[in-house]
Amino acid sequence: MTGSDVSPSFRLVYAPGVMPGKWVRVWNERLPGVPLTLTQVPAAETGGLLLAGDADAGLVRLPVDRTVLSAIPLYTEQTVVVVPKDHLVTAVDEVSPEDLADEIVLHPLDDVLAWETLPGRPALERPATTADAVELVAAGIGVLVVPLSLARLHHRKDLTHRPLRDAPESGVALAWPEAATTDLVEDFIGIVRGRTVNSTRGRARPSSSAQEKREKQEKPGRAAGKGGARRQQAAGGPAGGQRRGGGAAKRKGTGGTPKNPRRGTPRRGS
């Protein structure tokens, strides 16, 4: 099988919690002949997969190495604290770092928040993953601070969350290798940025075959109609004949009428 025999495809990696569904739906509508492969990987591994050529683009958590990767920031997530449903902080709508001063705040190894100083008290050991930390919160071991999407991803009926102010936030971006900006990458950029199919900033889309066929059929028809009308007029066709006939009838009808109806037999004097 040669390279030309291989059907094009688009490989997209994404970090846990990032939801690419809405963009995937648009992709499938616009490019139904180009399969899109989705792979979820730990946030810390997305950049390496892109640079290794194992993916065309990725929905990643910032920061990324901008010297080798191009990136378009998409949105910034709210930071929340995950606690048991009967925890004291559930009595308020928003939590501050000071409210967690006496809490054991779990800090998993795959944490995506860039902390300068973690609030609360540290645990004896760092959980390996966010999923492990959630299990510890459910067991009453501590609380967990994560982006809102990760709290929703690891939702449990016995846990809840509250917004945490004055905390670092996690930004999400579309990234791809700077040296590999392909046409398909440009297509996905256009979808993520909300461009329409006919946007001048996106790749031009060819007209459908049906549209081209209609245009080819309409052009000769219009030209023939104009030429036929001219030939009819030159040969004294119906249009010209009607005008000449109408004019002749009018002259004949008016020719029998005296120009001055008052002229007639002179009146005799009395």
Rounded CA-CA distance 178/91 in Å is 48
| pLDDT at residue 196, as a whole number | 86
One-letter identity of residue 10: F
Nearest alpha carbon to residue 188 among 87, 57, 38: 57
Nearest alpha carbon to residue 149 among 166, 136, 135, 130: 130
The count of other CB atoms within 10 Å of the CB of residue 267 is 6
pTM given for the model: 0.71
The answer to whether residues 106 and 137 touch, using CB atoms and an 8 Å cutoff, is yes
DSSP-derived 3-state class of residue 195: coil
| pLDDT at residue 219, as a whole number | 52
pLDDT in tens, the chain (270 residues): 444 455 689 999 999 999 999 999 999 999 999 999 999 999 999 999 999 999 999 999 999 999 999 999 999 999 999 999 999 999 999 999 999 999 999 999 999 999 999 999 999 999 999 999 999 999 999 999 999 999 999 999 999 999 999 999 999 999 999 999 999 999 999 999 999 877 645 454 544 444 454 455 555 544 445 555 455 554 455 444 444 444 444 444 444 444 554 554 555 444
H, E, C per residue of 77-103: ECEEEEEECCCHHHHCCCECHHHHCCC
DSSP-derived 3-state class of residue 121: strand
Handedness of CA 228, 230, 231, 236 (dihedral sign): positive
Rounded CA-CA distance 247/240 in Å is 11
Torsion of CA 74, 78, 79, 81, to 10 degrees: -140
